[in-house]
């Protein structure tokens, strides 16, 4: 489908580029369609998401361990997992302009499918197209050397199931978490970082005993559903307003799934899948001929609940939920008339790429710069900080608001007399004076 855009999405995309969150990839060579690079603030935001996920779902839980498997695995993995045969999208081509579409995403107008590019209504019949990227391992490009870039991180977990049981002695129920890149040769990438051919996943395969009845797996499924809702709230998403839980209809389930919930987020370009939660039954371990022995030596194949989260979609949803345009009170008379509009990213503190920005009021006053540098050096040992002496303070506030920095500290002439600074809060824009020696405690209360 042609890339749908709207004004809000364009504003967010433009902010990302202007402020160094996301750049079009290979831009100096004309770019590479639907491929993006994460800039200095984007990489911090992504890292905050991945670190938080890892801590919450791997390190803080006794029933979880982590893994980092290879991206290119033995191609037999993809044969056994069913991806070679089943991981396909139906592809059609407009006969007039030759644009390709996923057949199930074509839009109908007046009861006819219509090409969004040229308005044509004549399409080729649908062909199945495997989404895995193919490559060759070693110098010889023949069938014996074909390999695939992994289309999901999940299979790296399944094929290591025995290694993990043998080395950690984990007992059911337990899970394995992994964060890593996945690749899909998507027919219709687009909508900024929403659907790309290279993306990153945070996946958990949670192994449970063989269910004797439906309730046995449903209780684990429900537990993970709640965990995912908590995670989305933590990201700053208003779950009640912005998330729709789609119970994926049977005919649209992936080949391995008995039940899937898609958590759909109301993106500016439409309501689309943010994360998925699937009951994969014993499909994968059975396909890889892996089993488990309990304390009595009884062998069986565990079942699996899979919460699967995209890092890039987490970034996009967090940015969309945080993006605000607000009228500010006019200066210097806040009670008179209307002020300017400010753009602000109201990110949760843990997610903000910079926690505290430190400014000297004037960059050409060495005593202010020296004091501000001392404060910056001190705070940066605990928090991601930024020192900024460019332009006037108003401009610096605007820049930090757009990056989503929760606090700005300004060193002015009073600071030299009274050993205090102005701390400005991003959301309320209120300013308070705080003694320099109390700054660490002040931020510890707010940022830790
Ligand atoms: N292991 C299960 C699995 O891969 P999926 O629904 O195909 O399930 C899981 O993908 C998540 O990965 C999605 O909910 C989404 O967050 C992310 N994802 C999938 N394809 C993507 C793409 N082309 N671009 C960005 N993120 C993607």
Output the CA 234–ligand 1 centroid distance in Å. Answer: 20
pLDDT in tens, 127-167: 998 999 999 999 999 999 999 999 999 999 999 999 999 99
pLDDT in tens, 58-92: 999 999 999 999 999 999 999 999 999 999 988 99
pLDDT in tens, 149-160: 999 999 999 999
* Residue with CA closest to ligand 1 atom 7: 152
* Residue with CA closest to ligand 1 atom 20: 195
Output the CA 121–ligand 1 centroid distance in Å. Answer: 30
Pocket perturbation via mutation, ligand 1, pick of 69, 262, 276 by most ligand atoms within 8 A of CB: 276
pLDDT above 90 (res 172) = yes
Pocket perturbation via mutation, ligand 1, pick of 201, 206, 278, 316 by most ligand atoms within 8 A of CB: 201
Question: What Rg do the C-alpha atoms of the chain give, in angstroms?
Answer: 26
Tell me, what's the pLDDT at 112? 87
Window from 28-37, 174-183, 402-411 with minimum mean pLDDT: 28-37
Q: What percent of the chain has pLDDT over 90?
A: 87
Q: State how far the Cα of 159 lies from the Cα of 126, in Å rounded to an integer.
A: 33
Output the CA 423–ligand 1 centroid distance in Å. Answer: 41
pLDDT in tens, 290-304: 999 999 999 999 999
Mean pLDDT of the chain: 94
Tell me, what's the pLDDT at 299? 96
pLDDT band at 276 (very low <50, low <70, confident <90, very high): very high
Tell me, what's the pLDDT at 334? 65
Output the CA 380–ligand 1 centroid distance in Å. Answer: 35
Output the CA 399–ligand 1 centroid distance in Å. Answer: 33
pLDDT above 50 (res 325) = yes
Tell me, what's the pLDDT at 335? 66
pLDDT in tens, 104-115: 888 888 788 999
Output the CA 203–ligand 1 centroid distance in Å. Answer: 10
Q: Measured from the CA of 275, which atom of ligand 1 is nearest? A: 14
pLDDT band at 337 (very low <50, low <70, confident <90, very high): low
Output the CA 273–ligand 1 centroid distance in Å. Answer: 8
Would you tell me how many other CB atoms lie within 10 Å of the CB of residue 47? 14
Q: Measured from the CA of 310, which atom of ligand 1 is nearest? A: 16
Output the CA 436–ligand 1 centroid distance in Å. Answer: 47
Q: Measured from the CA of 313, which atom of ligand 1 is nearest? A: 16
Q: Measured from the CA of 262, which atom of ligand 1 is nearest? A: 14
Output the CA 201–ligand 1 centroid distance in Å. Answer: 7
Residue list, ligand 1 pocket, CB within 6 Å:
152, 154, 184, 186, 195-196, 199, 201, 203, 273, 275-276, 306, 308-310, 312-313
Output the CA 108–ligand 1 centroid distance in Å. Answer: 26
* Residue with CA closest to ligand 1 atom 21: 195
* Residue with CA closest to ligand 1 atom 22: 195
Tell me, what's the pLDDT at 328? 84
Q: State how far the Cα of 43 lies from the Cα of 60, in Å rounded to an integer.
A: 24
Output the CA 205–ligand 1 centroid distance in Å. Answer: 14
pTM confidence score: 0.94
pLDDT in tens, 339-386: 789 999 999 999 999 999 999 999 999 999 999 999 999 999 999 999
Question: Quick one: tokens of 1?
Answer: 């489908």
For 275: left if phi > 0, alpha if psi spans -120 to 50, otherwise beta; the answer is: beta
Q: Measured from the CA of 308, which atom of ligand 1 is nearest? A: 9
* Residue with CA closest to ligand 1 atom 16: 310
Tell me, what's the pLDDT at 3? 46
* Residue with CA closest to ligand 1 atom 15: 310
């Amino acid at each position: 489908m042609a890339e749908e855009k709207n004004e809000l999405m364009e504003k967010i995309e433009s902010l990302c580029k202007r402020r160094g969150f996301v750049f079009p990839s290979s831009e100096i060579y004309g770019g590479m369609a639907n491929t993006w690079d994460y800039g200095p603030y984007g990489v911090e935001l992504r890292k905050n998401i991945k670190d938080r996920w890892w801590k919450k779902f791997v390190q803080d839980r006794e029933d979880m361990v982590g893994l980092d498997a290879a991206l290119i695995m033995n191609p037999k993995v993809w044969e056994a997992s069913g991806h070679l045969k089943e991981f396909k999208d139906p592809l059609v081509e407009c006969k007039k302009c030759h644009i390709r579409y996923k057949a199930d995403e074509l839009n109908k107008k007046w009861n006819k499918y219509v090409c969004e590019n040229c308005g044509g209504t004549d399409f080729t019949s649908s062909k199945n197209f495997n989404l895995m990227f193919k490559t060759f391992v070693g110098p010889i490009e023949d069938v014996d050397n074909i390999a695939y870039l992994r289309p999901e991180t999940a299979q790296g977990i399944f094929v290591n199931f025995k290694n993990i049981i043998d080395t950690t002695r984990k007992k059911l129920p337990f899970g394995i978490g992994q964060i890593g890149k996945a690749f899909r040769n998507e027919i219709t990438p687009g909508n900024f970082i929403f659907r790309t051919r290279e993306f990153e996943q945070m996946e958990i395969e949670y192994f449970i005993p063989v269910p004797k009845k439906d309730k046995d797996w449903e209780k684990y499924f429900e537990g993970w559903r709640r965990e995912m809702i908590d995670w989305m709230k933590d990201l700053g998403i208003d779950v009640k307003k912005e998330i729709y839980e789609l119970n994926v209809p049977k005919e649209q389930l992936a080949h391995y799934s008995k039940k899937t919930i898609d958590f759909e987020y109301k993106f500016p370009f439409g309501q689309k899948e943010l994360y998925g939660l699937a009951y994969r039954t014993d499909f994968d371990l059975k396909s890889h001929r892996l089993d488990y022995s309990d304390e009595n030596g009884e062998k069986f194949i565990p079942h699996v609940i899979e919460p699967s989260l995209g890092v890039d979609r987490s970034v996009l949803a967090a940015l969309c939920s945080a993006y605000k345009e607000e009228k500010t009170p006019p200066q210097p008379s806040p009670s008179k008339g209307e002020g300017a509009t400010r753009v602000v990213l109201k990110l949760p503190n843990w997610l903000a790429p910079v926690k505290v920005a430190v400014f000297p009021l004037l960059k050409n006053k060495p005593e202010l710069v020296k004091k501000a540098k001392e404060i910056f050096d001190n705070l940066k040992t605990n928090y991601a900080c930024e020192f900024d002496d460019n332009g006037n303070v108003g401009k610096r506030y605007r820049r930090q608001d757009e990056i989503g920095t929760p606090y700005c500290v300004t060193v002015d002439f009073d600071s030299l007399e009274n050993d205090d600074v102005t701390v400005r809060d991003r959301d309320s824009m209120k300013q308070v004076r705080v003694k320099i020696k109390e700054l660490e405690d002040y931020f510890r209360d707010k940022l830790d």
